[in-house]
Each structure stands twice: as structure tokens, then as C-alpha cells.
Structure 1
Amino acid sequence: MNKTLVVCALSAGLLLAGCQSVNTTSGGAVGVERKQYMFSMLSTAEVNQMYAQSYQKTVGEASSKGVLDKTSNDAKRVQAISSRLIAQAPVFRPDSAQWQWEVNLIKSDDLNASCGPGGKIIFYSGLIDTLQLTDDEIAAIIGHEIAHALREHGREAMSKAYGIEMAKQGAGALFGLGEGSLALADTVAQYGMTLPNSRGNENEADLIGLELAARAGYNPNAAITLWNKMSKASNGAPPEFLSTHPASASRIAALQAAIPKVMPLYEKARKS
């Protein structure tokens, strides 16, 4: 099976899966305008509901272990910073004003944080303790994670996975392929779709997170100091939650290039 047939099969799979081209957010000052392909039968509400169940399980387990932190100064910091960022989310996505946002701090040495579909935020205390984070740097992390939720990167990944499976099945049926050819299709799909998009999604989250922080009155330059701390703490590679790829000069350069676009928003927020 040559590359042309693989591409055709993948395209057919996406079409059969009922994918539609959407843009989940406005571009903002940072100009994130990429169209996304979503499986139309996998709705935003369904994905949000699925994740909410998983989130409540995680929070419940943390509570039962006595590591769910609701009262410490750091818990109050994370809550307050998140609230300011959440208030800016409708700039990119108006319907996020109706999301059932939740924010929780878990006591753990893990350098980890997330914001799942529908606005479910978890922050791990290890980030604050190990990296000695400022409020601006906490905002950079949470803004990045909120951006993933606003852009529905989780739903997008699920849609792509479905499309790939459909493509594999369709290719096998149409061309009578054996296991070896389908393995090739897997490889092409992984490196031609999943990994580049993963890097692209991280870049989108970097940029939108930068603008969210600026609009909320947090210094966007903290994104640079944060990355430097991350690299130092993990021997040049950031925690997995930020990227499956090392922090690179090009990534920091992209943030630095975007900072002038959002600085007026930061200055305006500071004066208000």
C-alpha cells in the first residue's frame, strides 16, 4: 500500500466517521485560527460528561486519601488565580461561561496539572513546592491547561483516533490488505497526523494561555521564566503534562514573539 493510498484511506475514514471542520475558539490577539476536525456524533457535551465522571473519581480518591487540599494558602492561591483566568475564557469561547468549572489542588510531589474538557482543573502541589512558583507562573500553567480545554484538544484527539480506525477498516476492506500493510498505515497515521498535531496543540495552548494570563492581569513574561525553571528541574525536558517534547529554543522563541501582542492587554488589566 503506497502513501497515496494510505492518505486516501485516512481521508475516507474521516469522512465516514462524520467529521466536520470547526474552529472551537476565536483567534484572539495571538491569532490561533486553525480549523479542527471533530467527529460530529461525539459531541462537546458528551465528552465533557465523560470527563466529569473521571474527574470526580480522581477528586474522590484524593479526598479519601487525605490529599485533597481546600484550605491551605496554596489552595487559595490556585483558586484565586484560576478564577481570574476563567473569567477571561469567554473572550475565546463564549459558551465557556456556562461550563461547570471546578478547581482542586492535590498534595503530591508530582509536577503535574490539567484542565480537562468542560473546565475541570487539577493542580498538584509539587509544582509550587519544587519550582517555587510565583502567581504569574502559576497563571502561565493554568492558562495553558485551560487553553487545551477551550480548544477541545481531547475531543479532537478522540475524533482522530476514530477516523484512523475507520480508515484502517475501510482500507482493509477496499484493498484486501494484510497485517503488514495495516501496520504501515498505523505508522503513517501516527507520524503524519498524531505527533505533528500534538506539537501544534501544545503551541496553541502556549499562545492562548499566554493571552488568558495577560488579560487576567498576570505578567506574560512569566511563561519564559516558567519554562526555564521547568527545564532546570527536569534536566532539559519539561513535565509530560506540558509536552511530550523537550522545551526547545524555538518554543520559547514563539512565546517571546507573542508577548508583544499581549502586553497591551496586560497593561490594561493592571490599570483596571
Structure 2
Amino acid sequence: MSTYVLSDSWTMTRRELAHWARQPVQVVVGLVFPVMMLLMFGYLIGGGREVKGEYVDFLVPGMLALTMAFGLEGTMTAVTQDLNKGVVDRFRSMPMANSAVLVGRSVADMLQSALGLAVVIAVGYAIGWRAHGGLGAALGAVGLLLLLRFAMLWIGIFLGMVAGRPEMVQAVQILVWPVGFLSNAFASPESMPEWLGTVVEWNPMSATATAVRDLFGNPGGEPGHMAAAIIWPVALVAVFFPLAVRKFQALSR
């Protein structure tokens, strides 16, 4: 049985990856958008108030965390499109493991996220950002970023099935953007009003950004946030993974 599940999951993953070739513009836009954000905040908007050291060293890790959080929107859009085209119903009627549909979606999204990380990191190096914590620490930072994306992935799958229609994704985007910017991705909480800084500190994305900065050896990093950067995503997965599975199983009822 496990062999069939793996085979079906790989088939679904290849289906999602084939979309890259058929829709290259969408893939390119997804990769270019975080780069535009990085350059915009780095050169046009970023002031780096209360940041000790080079602002670009503070900004790049925050932008990497924000890129992982905003990946939720792409997941939601893909899920709602499949639902409205009847693709999911067709797959459920076929002699294949139901879990393969969700596994294929998650593997493809994680691969695209890893590619997005590589692009933003390369651009960061091009504009002067450097990681000073060593290779092992850098790999640990990438692992924390992908863990955050994995949590956002299952939130996106669940919300995509709840929304049901692509136009409903826009309503969720209105909420995702404030949550993303209400973090320490672009500015230090010390530069904000006390009440706002407290809210920012409790944002799960802020925990990841702070821990990643510490591993990269960049300004704004604090070792004490490592546990929170792991606990928050794991807790989100523990909540939204079973919700997504149950919602998927209920689609045919």
C-alpha cells in the first residue's frame, strides 16, 4: 500500500511541476516579487531605525521569512483553481491514494519555495548581504525558513478548500498582508510604539526572522528565539494539517 501511495504522490507532484512549464509567467512573477520587495525596502524605503549594523544584513533574513509566509497565497490560489475546475473531484474518483493529492501539492510548493529562497539569497549577496555564522548555521537557518513555509503550506491548503473560489482568496490576502508586515521583517520592534512592538514580538514570523538572523550572524538576532521559531510552526502544522485532511475527505460527501 505504501508503494502505491508514494507512486501516486510522485505522479501528483510531477503534475504540479508540469504547470511550471505551461505557466512560466506565473512562476517568474512568484520569484521576482520578493526580489522587488527586497530591493524596494533596501534602497527606497528602508531606514533601519534602531538597527545596529548594516540595514541590508537586518533586512534580508526578514525578507526571507516574509517570502515563506506570503507563499500561503500561492497555495490557496492553486487549491481553489483545482477545486473549481473539478480536478480534485476527478482525482478522488480515480483508483489512487487520496492522500497523494495533498502530498503532491505540498511537495511541489516546497520545491518552489526552496527555489524562491535561493533566488532571494542570491540577490541578497548581490546587494551586499553576508552570512557570518558558518555553513552549518546557514543550513539551520534555511531549515527554519522551510519549516515556516511548511506550516504556511497547510494553512493555505485548508483555507483554500474553505474559500472554495479564487475570488475569495483576495479576501484572505487582505488579512495576510497586514500580518506579514506586522512583524520585525523590515524594522526593529524597539523603533515601534511599545504596544505595537509587543504585538510584533508575538508574531510567529518574527520568531523565525529573529532566529534566522542569529544563525546568519546578522543584526537583530537573538539566540532565545530559536525555540519559538520551531514551536510556532510545529503548533500550526499540528492544528491545520488534520483540519486540511478532514476538509479534503469531506469534499466528496
Q: Which TM class, normalised by the smaller chain length?
A: 0.3 to 0.5
Greater RCO between the two (CA within 8 Å, min separation 6)?
2
More strand by share: 1
- Larger C-alpha radius of gyration, 1 or 2? 1
TM-score, scaled to structure 1: 0.31
